[in-house]
Amino acid sequence: MADWLAALHRRAELRAKAGLTRRLRPRAAGDAVIDLAGNDYLGLATHPEVTAAAGRALAAYGLGATGSRLVRGSTDVHYGLEAALADWLGTDGSLVFSSGYLANLGAVRALTQPRTLLVSDAHNHASLIDGCRISGAETVVTPHADPAAVAAALSAAPGRPAVVVTESVFSVDGDLAPLAELHAVARRHGALLLVDDAHALGVTGPAGAGGVAAAGLAGEPDVVVTATLSKALGGAGGVVAGPAEFVRHLVETGRTFIFDTALPPAVAAGVRAALDLARAGDHLRAELAERATETVRRLRAAGLTVSAPDAAVVSVTAPGPEAATAWAAGCADRGVAVGCFRPPSTPDSRSRLRLTISAGVPRADFERALDVIVECAP
């Protein structure tokens, strides 16, 4: 074996000993697994109106966009989706990317000027962390959800352009950031606020408009919102929304937008249909909230350590990475899919199961899944 492959093999052995092996697990269409691991919060990925809209666009445009947005990849479907997203989020404009990851990389980079200070929450998603790294800007990582620490970091760099970077609903534990307080701190210091609303869009806020809208910050000129279109909207892609001048700046300078093939029109059309359903889906959000509360109640009654249900993500602490892996595997053997998060994917080096509640799972299956999780607990 070549030296470099041998080195990779040795690293894989070390990960296996630490309980950190990761495997791809293909699933068949229409499998019978109860899904508490995916992010289809509102059950829209297979909604007939969504798949029909995607099918019509597939027949009209073909499989892919055939080019980047600035070449041949922009269609009327993309423009319609961007207008609808801006209206929903209460912003001047929005721009659709091919993934939420690229949207975050592009947004952070576009907000960075010479001497910019980035103030990033310790629990931020990898895409935000990578955006900070790629930007080349000085980054201060502050304790989780701590406006006072953010204020201290900004006070230590007077006169410098700065951006406070946070999620709204954090992807690992599902807790809600203190967005109103963070915005007040940022504005007091002349800083911008960048919020990744991925796990809140469709789930919280008026008409499901997300955590930024719920905090009363929609349309503020010093707030930029990002989100993925692959969670509550059941599709793929990402969006950056904010002032029209910033959207223009992204179109003209954003490398992850300019040099990437556009989101397929069929996906954009399906997401557009899902958006309409999500805006009118207060009954689905009520069901999500009820299920999240029930999940916490049931698991805590069984003696498990569980996060508070601020949205539809529930985190359950495991004794360690190997125990978390075995717990998730035991659930899978009994037909229940759960997320398994272990270091280095966790910001606090704590292993856990992550349950993503979905209104699309039949109620009886949801109840059974909770039983299985308790029965398989280490």
CATH code, residues 31-45+281-375: 3.90.1150.10
From CA 270, how far away is CA 133, in angstroms rounded? 33
**CB-neighbour burial class of residue 156 (10 A; exposed 0-12, middle 13-18, buried 19+):** exposed
pLDDT at residue 32 tops 70: yes
Class of domain 48-279: alpha beta
- In b/e form, how buried is each residue of 38-59, taking b as 16+ CB within 10 angstroms? bbbbbbbbebeebbebbebbbe
pLDDT at residue 128 tops 60: yes
Secondary structure of 270-310 as H, E, C letters: HHHHHHHHHHCCHHHHHHHHHHHHHHHHHHHHCCCCECCCC
- In b/e form, how buried is each residue of 310-346, taking b as 16+ CB within 10 angstroms? bbbbbbbebeebbbbbbbbebbbebebbbbbbbeeeb
Q: Please compute the mean of the pLDDT values over residues 316-334 and round it to a whole number.
A: 95
For position 1, what pLDDT does the model report?
A: 57
Q: Quote the percentage of the chain above a pLDDT of 90.
A: 90
**How much is the CA Rg of the chain, to the nearest whole Å?**
21
pTM across the whole model? 0.95
Query: Which tens digit of pLDDT belongs to each residue from 254-309?
Result: 999 999 999 999 999 999 999 999 999 999 999 999 999 999 999 999 999 999 88
pLDDT at residue 343 tops 90: no
Listed by start position, the domains of the chain span 31-45+281-375, 48-279
From CA 37, how far away is CA 291, in angstroms rounded? 15
Query: Which tens digit of pLDDT belongs to each residue from 160-211?
Result: 999 999 999 999 889 999 999 999 999 999 999 999 999 999 999 999 999 9
Single out the residue of 364, 365, 362 nearest to residue 331, CA to CA.
Answer: 365
From CA 80, how far away is CA 177, in angstroms rounded? 30
Q: CA geometry: angle at 250 spanning 273 and 151, to 5°?
A: 100
For position 160, what pLDDT does the model report?
A: 97
Strands 223-228 and 238-242 come out as antiparallel
CB atoms within 10 A of CB 363: 10
Q: Quote the percentage of the chain above a pLDDT of 70.
A: 100
For position 345, what pLDDT does the model report?
A: 75
For position 19, what pLDDT does the model report?
A: 77
CB atoms within 10 A of CB 159: 8
**CB-neighbour burial class of residue 69 (10 A; exposed 0-12, middle 13-18, buried 19+):** buried
Contacts of 306 (CB under 8 A, 6+ apart): 295, 296, 299, 300, 314, 315, 316, 317
Q: How confident is the prediction for the chain on average, in pLDDT?
A: 96
Tokens of 68: 């980047």
Contact between 88 and 68 (Cβ < 8 Å): no
From CA 73, how far away is CA 70, in angstroms rounded? 7
